[in-house]
C-alpha cells in the first residue's frame, strides 16, 4: 500500500521537485511575516514624539501603541538624555527637531526595547517621568518625560542631530532680568462692605492693609507692586484675576478678614486653590480662548495643550502652597494668632489663575473683638504687613525652601 503512494520520491520528476521547492519558500515567507506581525502587535510601536514648555522646563511626550516600562540610560549630564522603553518597537525610527530644552530627538531600536535619544540645548536633568494610560479622549499610551534646566546651565555639548532631521525651531528668548512683580488685592470695596465687626467692616481694613504691604515691599527695593484697587471702589473678582495675569504677576495675594457666628473664634488663615477649584479653572481656560492664548501653550495639538495646562497648573499650585507655608511661619513668628488649621483650600475665584501663584490671606475675624482691634489699629496692621512682606522676600530670595505640595486640608465654601 505504502509503496504505491503518490509521495514515492523515486518517481518524482523535475516538475514535482520545482513545485515543492516553491511551496516551501512561500510557506516560510508567510510564517516569517506572520511571526513578525504577531511580535509587532504584541510589543506595539512608538507612534510619535511631542514637545511643550520652554527653555526652563520642557515636557516630552512619547506616544505608544502599548504600555512600556522606562529606564534611564543617560541622565543629561553628557548633554543627552537617553531612555530605554521596554516592550515597544521603534517603528519607523522617528527623528527630528525638538523644542525648549531639547534640540533634537531620535528613536532607535534595541533588543526588546526602543531607545529615546534627546539631544539637549543646554544642561538639564530629568525632573520626573511617568506613563499615562489611555483616557480623556486619548486612545493610546503616553510616556511623559519632564526636563528641568539646571541653574546656571550653559549650552550642552551633545552629539549632532541626524542628517535628515529638520533644523531646530528657534527658542524663545530668556526672560528679562526684572524684579518680581507682586499684585496685592484688597478684598471687597465700594458697595460690597464684606464682613461686619462691632465697629468696622472688612472693606475698611483690607485697603489700608494692602497699601501698607505695598509700602513695605517698595521699601525693600527688590519688588514691583501693583494694587487691584487704590480707592474704596468695587472691582469684580474676574477683573482682579485679569489684572494679575495682564501684569504678568509672579505672586498674587488677596487680603480679607473673616467672620464667625462664634465671637470667640479668632486667628489668621491662608487659603490656596482646591482640587475642585483647579478643575473649574481648567474648564474656564478651555472655554475662554483669551486665557489659553495668553498662556501661549506651545503644544501642537489639543491633547498636548491639555497636558501642558495640567503641568502649569500643578506647578502653580505647588508654588502657592510653598508660599502659604512661608507666610504662615512668618505670621506665627510675629506672634499672630492663627486658626488651628491655618492652611486651608477652597475654590475662591481670585485663586483660579492657572499660571499665577496665589493665596488668600484671612487676616483675622472681624467678629472677634481682639482681631478687630488689631486690624483697625494702624500700628498693629502695619506690623502684620511687615511680616507678610518678609515672607514674600524669603519666598523669592530663598527658593531652596522645601516645596509643600498642594493638598486638601480644610475646604471652605461660599467665600468670595
Question: Under the phi-then-psi rule, with left for phi > 0, alpha for psi from -120 to 50, and beta for the rest, what region is 100?
Answer: left
Give the integer Cα–Cα distance in Å for 268 and 248.
Answer: 28
- Between residues 303 and 42, which one has the greater pLDDT? 303
Q: What angle do CA 240, 345, 223 make, to 5 degrees?
A: 45
pLDDT digits (tens, 9 = 90+) for 36-69: 444 443 457 888 888 887 778 888 888 888 888 8
* Alpha-carbon span 359 to 311, nearest angstrom: 19
Contacts of the segment 373-380: beta carbons below 8 A, 24+ positions apart = 375/200, 375/205, 375/209, 375/257, 376/197, 376/199, 376/200, 376/204, 376/205, 378/208
Query: Which residue blocks in 133-227 are alpha helix, DSSP H?
Result: 203-220
Q: Tell whether the model's pLDDT for residue 188 goes beyond 50.
A: yes
Residue pair 269/257 in contact (Cβ under 8 Å)? The answer is: no
Query: Is there a contact between 406 and 318 (Cβ–Cβ < 8 Å)?
Result: yes
- Determine the Cα–Cα distance for residues 96 and 165; give it in Å rounded to an integer: 4
Beta strands in 155-266 (DSSP E): 181-186, 224-227, 251-258
Give pLDDT, residue 67.
Answer: 82
Instruction: Measure the CA–CA gap between 270 and 234, rounded to whole angstroms.
Output: 23
Model pLDDT for residues 361-381, shown as the tens digit of each residue: 999 999 999 999 999 999 999
Lowest-pLDDT range, 75-84, 102-111, 227-236, 301-310? 301-310
- For residue 174, name the pLDDT band (cuts at 50, 70, 90): very low
pLDDT of residue 318: 83
Q: Tell me: the pLDDT tens digits for 227-270?
A: 999 999 999 988 998 899 888 899 999 999 999 999 999 999 99
The candidate with the shortest Cα–Cα distance to 220, out of 37, 25, 396, 19, is 396
Residue 406 has a pLDDT of 37
R_g over Cα of the chain: 31
Phi, psi of 291 (to 5 degrees): -60, -50
Tell me how crowded residue 385 is: count the other CB atoms within 10 A of its CB: 23
By CB atoms closer than 10 A (0-12, 13-18, 19+), residue 374 is buried
CA angle 319, 322, 324 (to 5 degrees): 110
User: Which pLDDT band, with edges at 50, 70 and 90, does 28 fall under?
Assistant: low
Are 47 and 141 spatial neighbours (Cβ–Cβ below 8 Å)? no
pLDDT at position 3 is 43
Q: Which of 166-175, 213-222, 300-309 has the highest mean pLDDT?
A: 213-222
Q: Which pLDDT value is given to residue 301?
A: 53
pLDDT in the model for residue 298: 47
Per-residue confidence (pLDDT) for residue 164, from 0 to 100: 40
Span 147-156, average pLDDT = 68
Judge whether 16 and 24 are in contact, CB under 8 Å: no
Evaluate if residue 189 carries a pLDDT over 80.
yes
pLDDT over 60 (residue 286): no
| CB hemisphere CA count around 90 (13 angstroms) | 19
Question: Is 290 exposed, middle or buried, given 0-12, 13-18 or 19+ CB atoms closer than 10 A?
Answer: exposed
Kindly indicate the confidence band of residue 15, based on its pLDDT and cuts at 50, 70 and 90.
Answer: low
What distance separates the 2 farthest-apart alpha carbons in the chain?
A: 120
Please tell me the number of Cα atoms within 13 Å of 372 on its side-chain side: 19
More confident residue, 410 or 250: 250
182 contacts 226 by C-beta, under 8 angstroms = yes
Q: What is the percent of the chain with per-residue pLDDT over 70, rounded to a whole number?
A: 68
- The percent of residues above 90 in pLDDT, for the chain, comes to 34
Q: Whole-angstrom distance between the N-terminal and C-terminal Cα of the chain?
A: 99
Most confidently predicted of 16-20, 259-263, 287-291: 259-263
Read off the pLDDT of each residue in 124-140 and give the average, rounded to a whole number: 77
Rounded CA separation 288/238 (Å):
12
Region of poorest pLDDT, from 25-39, 147-161, 320-334: 25-39
**Cα 338 to Cα 100, 321, 375, distances in angstroms:** 43, 17, 14
pTM: 0.55
**Cα-flanking dihedrals φ and ψ of residue 125, to 5°?**
-140, 160
pLDDT at 12 exceeding the cut of 70: no
- What average pLDDT does the segment 317-328 reach? 89
Of 6-10, 93-97, 148-152, 352-356, the range with the lowest mean pLDDT is 6-10
Phi and psi, residue 368, nearest 5°: -110, 130
Amino acid at each position: 500500500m505504502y509503496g504505491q503512494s503518490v509521495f514515492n520520491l523515486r518517481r518524482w520528476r523535475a516538475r514535482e521537485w520545482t513545485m515543492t521547492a516553491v511551496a516551501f519558500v512561500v510557506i516560510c515567507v508567510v510564517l516569517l511575516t506572520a511571526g513578525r506581525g504577531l511580535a509587532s502587535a504584541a510589543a506595539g510601536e512608538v507612534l510619535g514624539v511631542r514637545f511643550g514648555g520652554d527653555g526652563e522646563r520642557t515636557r516630552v511626550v512619547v506616544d505608544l501603541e502599548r504600555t512600556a516600562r522606562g529606564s534611564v540610560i543617560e541622565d543629561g549630564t553628557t548633554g543627552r538624555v537617553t531612555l530605554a522603553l521596554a516592550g515597544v518597537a521603534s517603528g519607523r525610527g522617528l527623528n527630528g527637531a525638538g523644542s525648549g530644552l531639547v534640540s533634537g530627538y531620535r528613536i532607535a531600536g534595541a533588543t526588546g526595547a526602543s531607545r529615546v535619544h534627546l539631544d539637549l540645548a543646554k544642561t538639564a536633568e530629568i525632573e520626573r517621568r511617568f506613563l499615562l494610560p489611555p483616557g480623556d479622549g486619548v486612545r493610546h499610551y503616553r510616556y511623559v518625560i519632564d526636563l528641568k534646566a539646571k541653574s546656571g546651565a550653559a549650552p550642552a555639548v551633545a552629539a549632532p542631530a541626524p542628517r535628515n532631521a529638520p533644523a531646530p525651531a528657534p527658542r524663545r528668548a530668556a526672560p528679562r532680568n526684572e524684579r518680581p512683580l507682586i499684585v496685592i488685592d484688597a478684598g471687597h470695596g465700594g458697595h460690597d462692605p464684606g464682613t461686619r465687626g462691632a465697629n468696622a467692616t472688612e472693606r475698611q481694613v483690607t485697603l489700608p492693609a494692602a497699601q501698607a504691604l505695598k509700602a513695605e515691599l517698595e521699601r525693600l527695593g527688590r519688588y514691583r507692586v501693583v494694587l487691584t484697587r487704590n480707592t474704596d471702589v468695587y472691582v469684580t473678582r474676574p477683573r482682579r484675576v485679569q489684572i494679575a495675569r495682564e501684569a504678568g504677576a509672579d505672586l498674587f495675594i488677596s487680603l480679607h478678614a473673616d467672620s464667625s457666628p462664634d465671637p470667640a473664634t479668632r486667628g489668621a488663615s491662608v487659603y490656596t486653590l482646591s482640587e475642585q477649584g483647579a478643575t473649574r479653572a481648567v474648564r474656564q481656560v478651555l472655554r475662554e480662548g483669551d486665557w489659553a492664548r495668553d498662556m501661549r501653550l506651545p503644544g501642537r495639538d489639543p491633547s498636548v495643550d491639555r497636558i501642558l495646562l495640567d503641568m502649569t497648573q500643578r506647578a502653580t499650585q505647588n508654588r502657592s502652597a510653598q508660599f502659604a507655608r512661608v507666610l504662615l511661619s512668618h505670621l506665627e513668628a510675629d506672634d499672630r494668632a492663627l486658626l488651628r488649621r491655618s492652611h486651608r483650600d477652597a475654590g475662591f475665584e481670585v485663586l483660579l489663575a492657572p499660571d499665577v501663584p496665589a493665596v488668600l490671606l484671612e487676616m483675622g475675624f472681624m467678629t472677634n473683638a481682639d482681631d478687630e482691634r488689631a486690624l483697625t489699629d494702624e500700628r498693629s496692621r502695619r506690623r502684620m504687613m511687615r511680616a507678610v512682606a518678609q515672607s514674600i522676600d524669603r519666598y523669592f530670595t530663598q527658593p531652596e525652601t522645601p516645596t509643600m505640595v498642594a493638598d486638601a486640608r480644610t475646604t471652605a465654601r461660599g467665600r468670595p
